[in-house]
Structure 1
């Protein structure tokens, strides 16, 4: 068993959610790092990781980014604490000074920072529409002019019938509807309209090198920002 698989096994044994299937823990973290680098992430970028969990992507990003550049929102701080202990040496945590907040409203403003990148992997697959709209508003208010919001979603087979319209977050393991698994779906058309109403544009990321877990990556920017 390699070091990352061993760390994932220990986190799971402690009863912590890994952000997806065990076998995708390492791959999922690496691919989140890859897509960020592809979109221009550099060590001096300021990044917000929404639902950072046990840091399957965060441990790579904390290592890469300069001190005081990684920010994470995670209501279940026991996951963050376990990830810090299992995946990062204490001296790196001390040197890099990552910042975390446990607010359940996904309020970007709690850090008082302007972000170059916002990452939300498999968050919209558990979120109601009102929370997605709130995140888009937070990105507008707290993102730098050139900022990129990288998120992932599942498109419904039938946009009207299978689209999630509930008001509540759907936790991992919940049964949304027979045949649709434990994640919720939002149509690309609805997402595009929500972005357009805010002066944002959204593009599917079609490079399959970053794909995993059956979800589609989206890149969201201000209309005037370069691609």
Structure 2
């Protein structure tokens, strides 16, 4: 049941406490999801047939988010894409007195092959055993669904939202920012970075010229929060 995700003496929790003790003014943001804590690589708790159980998963995500807030995290960022988890986490934070802890919702997180290098690095690719996360991450062909997810997360109490990956979905970054006017972040994921670095290492692109391009593209016309 991914108990290590909300262990008060877990790696993330200890790291947050150490950072806040050493640098009290440092803003600390933590990822809330279960895939690093499961042997199957999914972002949630699964049943005997491998189906992700949304509500049971959300119960664990609430515990994980609270453990991060208790450790001192300023922002918790649920990246799991379970339905209703933002509202549950917001309610739990308020009830426990963490009224200033903000939520960055991964609202428009698309089912993407660009996540491959990261999944390889943390071992979740092999754990997935050829499976995918298409039942709860968004369909890349459905832009309107992304807007609906953003609207729901904001209604449930999110303070800011994320579009992931960034570069392939510049249209969604722009639509979210212009439609809702809230702090909107985009994630340059491992596959995007690996693609650039492979071209740089092979001499096809110049490092200094290309690495800044994604940030300029994402920030143009005040699309982004940074």
Please tell me the TM-score bracket, short chain as reference: 0.3 to 0.5
Pick the structure with greater CA Rg: 2
The answer to which structure has the higher strand fraction is: 1
> TM-score scaled to structure 1, two decimals?
0.34
